[in-house]
A and B are shown apart, each in its own frame.
Chain A
Amino acid sequence: MKKTVLNAAHQRHGARLVEFGGFEMPVWYSGLTEEHHAVRQRAGVFDLCHMGRFEIVGDDPVAALDRVVTQDVSRMKKGQVRYSLVCNDEGGVLDDILIYRLPDRLWLVVNAGNRQKLLHWFGERLVGAKVIDHSEDLAMVALQGPLACSLLAPHIDRAHHRAVADLGYYRISRAQVKLTGTPIDGWISRTGYTGEDGFELYIPSGSAESVFDALLDLSDEVIPCGLGCRDTLRLEAGMPLYGHELSEQQDPIGAGLSFGVSLDKEGGFIGEPALREVVARGPRRQLRGFVVEGKRPARQGAVILHDSRPVGVVTSGSPSPTLGVPIACGYVDSSVSEEAPLEVDLRGKSAPLSPHPLPFYRRTAETAHSE
């Protein structure tokens, strides 16, 4: 099992470590629910070094990447970050990624479990460009929560003295990180996987541990957060997780991710003909959100029933710390109406499902700025 450069820090902070995506990662430190509430109400720090950080290089990396991802990279502004899918020829999802169009380079962040698969796929399918893996030399840590901006602002210098507060949502810029004794040159983006305002820092791996500790020292209100609450935070925020809502057998249209698919971009992309067909005939099944009645959560794989007939399957489910009830999302056959009464089979006992619009949680103070 691989370890991130923050493994020793996790042990020091009392993490319970588990395997995730081939890495030994913290599932929680103080406890999942406490960490979840800390991110919703204050701020939490996450190790994201397990994720893959790639650079696309070549004469025209934007044009090359546009042929292998669903998002229209050519229309992204410099400094912009956008969500995209990487699809196979059949329109199934190989991974969901973030694309970072920096003024002088093009970056991707991919899921830990798909790193090798995507390195291979990009290596084979990129024409006139190649992929460089920076996952080892560049570290990635996040500070997420409503206090993130005010806590971080005094410690980040951006070009032309622009304030961190002015960095728009889904934007990235160069930054000098002054959290430790020596200023560290890196990047900062206003992105996250929690449904809260927050930032992700990209710094040389050698500085990761000191930056991680310094973020925790910003305030008593900041605590280290594990992948357990990252999962419940993203589920409440209606964000998909690869291996749950997404797989090579699932198209992004039925997953509700059409916003990340530019079918009309010039030149097409891998999977585009297949996805056009899905759009034309309508997806076979669609992702829906539910509250599970009772106290018992529905887990991935639980069968969704209508009139005792299987019509779908749960992809993610958990007690929702914010809503205080068990929530779940799952695929239901498109032929089943939104109003049809549904139940979920919880290992032989059925519990009613109440439809709930996705996302389950949306933060109220909107922090989307344009820059």
Chain B
Amino acid sequence: MKSKNSCRIITGALIITGGIITLLVIPETPSLGTMLLAGGIAFLVSSVINHRKYGDEPDSDERSRKIAAYGLSRAWMTGVLFMFCLIWLDALGMLRLGTQNALVASVLVLAFSAVIYQAWLFRKGDVGI
């Protein structure tokens, strides 16, 4: 197994253990333990799938790394624009968001824009400069 995958599996197992301990020790805040559990399971499952799919062969080449970098850099720009829009809408009193809603919206915009840009660039085949 590649060291990257084994590191991820160990991290996922540790996060799951942390989540279980949190649930047992602090039962009054189950949300924190649940989030840790979900994150750990996601880590574990993704690394197991990656290992089953690629094994010891390299899972990325120069082109896919370039596409990933360009996709994420465009998602960064989208995220910055979105944050500026949020802060201006809040300052002008046109949109009043709670902290949790603002953070969830930020996570969703960052994650979805990254996935959409990368899917679009992979579909295109290469990064046109």
Query: Does B associate with A?
Result: no
Residues on A close to B: CB < 8 A? none
Residues on B close to A: CB < 8 A? none
